[in-house]
């Protein structure tokens, strides 16, 4: 598994523990789905301004969001299968972590799990699909021991 992380923002410090949990979450998400680890994923940290622009461009929603997921077409023939791209607003992640009373570490771990399941075809438009997706996200967090009070220590 190859994960390429690009920090395109300078407002929120992204500590080394966060980079490590991203890789663990991506790995456990793939394993939970019975997939091999033979995938390439890119993850970018951006600020609210950039994610708002991307949200407007690709979803026609003119406001910032926490995370966007862009799955890659499975029929694309490449040496290492590309799973897709994850874009996280570091600002929004920090804001949500404060609102929910947990760490930035935990919020980014959760957003990564959430996005990984989007990349693997899950959605949360309908309640039944949402329940399945939420349970998978929670299972990854349980496997890794990332809970509400987790600080990445």
Q: Where do the domains of the chain lie?
A: 2-144
Q: Is domain 2-144 given the CATH code 1.10.8.100 in the classification?
A: no
Q: Dihedral (C-alpha) 52, 58, 61, 62: value to the nearest 10 degrees? A: 40
The pLDDT score that the predictor gives to residue 81 is: 81
CA distances from 69 to 17, 42, 93, 149 (A): 22, 10, 15, 26
Three-class SS of residue 43?
A: strand
Query: Binding site for Zn(2+): which residues?
Result: 114, 118, 124
**Annotated binding residues:** 114, 118, 124
Residue range 93-129, pLDDT digits in tens: 999 999 999 999 999 999 999 999 999 999 988 899 9
Element at 46 (helix H, strand E)? strand 40-46
Beta bridge partners of 3: 41
- Single out the residue of 29, 21, 4 nearest to residue 120, CA to CA: 29
pTM value is 0.92
Instruction: Give every CB contact of residue 135 below 8 A, 6+ residues apart in sequence.
Output: none
Nearest alpha-carbon partner for 120 in 75, 77, 70, 76: 70
User: Rounded to an integer, what distance in angstroms lies between the CA atom of residue 104 and that of residue 87?
Assistant: 16
pLDDT for 127-150, tens place per residue?
A: 999 999 999 999 999 999 997 655
pLDDT in tens, 74-89: 665 556 788 999 999 9
Q: What is the pLDDT of residues 2-33, one digit of tens each?
A: 999 999 999 999 999 999 999 999 999 999 99
Q: Which helix (H) or strand (E) holds 65?
A: none
């Amino acid at each position: 598994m190859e994960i390429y992380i690009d920090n395109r923002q300078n407002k929120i410090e992204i500590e080394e523990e966060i980079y490590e949990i991203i890789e663990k979450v991506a790995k456990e998400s793939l394993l939970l789905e019975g997939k091999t680890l033979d995938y390439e994923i890119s993850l970018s940290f951006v600020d609210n301004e950039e994610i708002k622009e991307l949200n407007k461009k690709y979803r026609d929603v003119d406001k910032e969001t926490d995370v966007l997921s862009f799955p890659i077409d499975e029929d694309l023939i490449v040496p290492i299968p590309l799973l897709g791209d994850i874009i996280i607003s570091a600002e929004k992640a920090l804001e949500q972590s404060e609102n929910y009373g947990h760490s930035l570490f935990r919020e980014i771990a959760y957003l990564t799990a959430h996005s990984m399941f989007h990349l693997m075809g899950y959605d949360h438009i309908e309640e039944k699909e949402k329940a399945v997706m939420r349970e998978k996200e929670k299972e990854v967090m349980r496997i890794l021991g990332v809970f509400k009070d987790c600080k990445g220590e």
